[in-house]
Amino acid sequence: MKPSRALLSMLLFASATTTSFAQNKPVVQFIATGGTIAMKIDPVKNAPVPAISGDDLLATVPDIGKYATIQVNNLSNVPSDYMDPPRWIALTRAVQASLDRPDVAGVIVSHGTDTLEETAYWLDLTVRSDKPVVLIGAQRNASSPDFDGPRNLLNAARIAVDEQSKGKGVMLAMNNQINAARYVTKTHTANVETFNSGDFGFIGEVYPDRVIYSSTPSRRQHIPIQTDKMPEVEIVAMYGGADGAALRNAVDRGVKGIVVQALGMGNMNQPMFEAVKYALSKKVPVVISTRVHNGRVLPNYGFVGGGKTSFDAGAVMADDLKPAKARILLMLLLQRGVTSQADLQAAFSR
């Protein structure tokens, strides 16, 4: 059936209205990488799979033209579980190239939520600009009647063009809340209010009338990318009864750095401590983090395997960075040739 003249007129009017909204509005680059926000239910698999582009997502938010002229870059369409250093490097280059354009006010990156916090921290370390970079995702796929992707995209556009957003670094914006890259983490497998920043809290909120910030992140640093292939850094977990074999095996296969997901303030048992000393004897830097959600690791306890004994042996304390983000910082430092305990510790304490 052909659409009626009335319907055609309505569609043309809506299109013209959206175009008029976008005219003379700030330019925002929207880089789509995939994730649940780009998925729909596959009728054969009866499960969400990659299905929609950044352009498709943009089409669900007609009011976005009131705030910005959106330019879409469909960089990839993969689950965020597939994100890795080569994809991060490509994303950094795409984001930096966009921000270097005088006409671009900010960048939005859509991404899966499983590694969204890692990508946010990677970009915060590797991108240099005062312009805002806003990462978004979705907990519900595009087939869901309460798909949260459109609202997150609209909010991101409003954040990206807001003058207050400059100098805040990379931010993650979902469920009307704004979190800074360093501390944000996923806390629930399914809830739309999954991202928070623990003791530090989110830095702002998006309301219908305006964006409100309560703080500006201060613990930030820039580490330029110097290679197309990042040094391999492994994360090894400490747990009751760990024997250190996984850590030794990682060293023997040639990894360039180790992050230990230790306990408490950075503690481990004696077998794991001996494995740490083995890594250090092979000139493999070791960073001690913790599986505890909040708080810092410190060279505090003096029993064999306590944080002080690891630090005294030559290991680096990750401060308040959790293992996945400590791995990213160590990887970027190693590719810059930073290897000594003192220099690594200075970067982790910054």
Which residues contribute to the annotated binding site for substrate?
A: 80, 113-114
Sort 263 into a burial class: Cβ within 10 Å, 0-12 / 13-18 / 19+: buried
Residues of each annotated binding site: 80, 113-114
Q: Is 36 noted as a catalytic residue in this protein? A: yes
Q: Which of 33, 69, 92, 113 is catalytic?
A: 113
Side chain identity at residue 20, one-letter code: S
**What is the Cβ-side half-sphere exposure of residue 247, based on CA atoms within 13 angstroms?**
30
Name the catalytic one among 36, 69, 92, 290: 36
Phi–psi pair at 199, nearest 5 degrees: -60, -25
List CB contacts of 320: < 8 A, sequence separation 6 or more: 183, 294, 295, 296, 297
> Is-contact 334 233, C-beta < 8 A?
yes
In angstroms, the CA 153 to CA 134 distance is: 9
Q: Show Cβ contacts of residue 304 under 8 Å, excluding neighbours closer than 6 positions.
A: 270, 273
Tell me the three state secondary structure of residue 264.
coil
Amino acid at 244: G
- Beta-bridge mates of residue 27: 69, 104
* Cβ(248)–Cβ(278) below 8 Å: yes
Contacts of 183 (CB under 8 A, 6+ apart): 197, 198, 200, 320
Q: Which residues are catalytic?
A: 36, 113
